[in-house]
């Protein structure tokens, strides 16, 4: 196995399953929690992650295909997605001065997130590292649903958008218009859906709260 990344909740490996290259996501125990509580929480979060991925896929959102779930070992085996993260894509196209492609990708990301939210799922960790441009079809694939959860609340969806805006601001500061294309496509995708308008209205409020906290320090 090859370790690809480690977050606060899990490690992600490249490995093989029945001779095929796959991704293994393995949650690890938090030693500061009581063992029984830790086991219940970890299993609950594993089940929720799997449910959210499957629910998103049924709504037509591109996600890694789940191949095997080992609940007792807190493991999920998933399809290995060939391609590049949007973070890598935006950096590459900025270097190549291909502004048009970056804007098209940002627009498609906005449409994808809108479809996710209209399915009443929040991702919880929307960044350009958690979305991929798949090769060779160029489809956007959302990954890492470890913090995802079902939610109908406009506030939760607005916070999802705010997290993404902060990711663009910190990671892609030299391309300040990219997030505006995400937001524009999000609004267009849900132009006839009152719940989307509610999210965008709430987003303005979340954004103001965030800026006020930053100003205060």
3-state secondary structure the chain: CEEEEECCCEEEEEEEECCEEEEEEEECCCCCCCHHHHHHHHHHHHHHHHHHHHHHHHCCCCCCCEEEEECCCCEEEEECCCEEEHHHHHHHHHHCCCHHHHHHHHHHHHHHHHHHHHCCEECCCCCCCCEEEECCCCCEEECCCCCCEECCCHHHHHHHHHHHHHHHHHHCCCCCCHHHHHHHHHHHHCCCCHHHHHHHHHHHHHHHHHHHHHHHC
Catalytic residue (one of 16, 36, 125, 137): 125
125 is a catalytic site residue: yes
Task: Give the residue numbers marked as catalytic.
Answer: 125
């Amino acid at each position: 196995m090859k370790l690809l990344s480690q977050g606060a909740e899990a490690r992600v490996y490249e490995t093989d399953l029945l001779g095929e290259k796959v991704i293994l996501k393995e949650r690890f125990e938090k030693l500061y929690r009581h063992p029984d509580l830790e086991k219940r929480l970890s299993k609950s979060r594993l089940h929720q992650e799997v449910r959210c991925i499957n629910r998103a896929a049924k709504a037509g959102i591109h996600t890694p295909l789940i191949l095997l779930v080992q609940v007792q070992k807190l493991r999920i085996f998933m399809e290995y997605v060939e391609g590049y993260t949007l973070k890598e894509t935006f950096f590459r196209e900025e270097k190549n001065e291909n502004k048009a492609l970056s804007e098209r990708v940002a627009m498609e990301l906005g449409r994808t997130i809108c479809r996710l939210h209209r399915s009443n799922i929040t991702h919880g960790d929307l960044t350009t590292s958690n979305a991929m441009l798949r090769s060779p079809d160029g489809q956007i694939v959302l990954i890492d649903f470890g913090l995802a959860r079902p939610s109908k609340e406009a506030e939760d969806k607005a916070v999802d958008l705010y997290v993404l805006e902060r990711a663009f601001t910190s990671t892609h500061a030299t391309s300040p218009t990219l997030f505006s294309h995400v937001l524009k496509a999000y609004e267009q995708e849900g132009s006839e859906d009152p719940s989307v308008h509610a999210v965008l209205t709430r987003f303005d409020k979340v954004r103001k709260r965030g800026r006020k906290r930053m100003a205060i320090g």
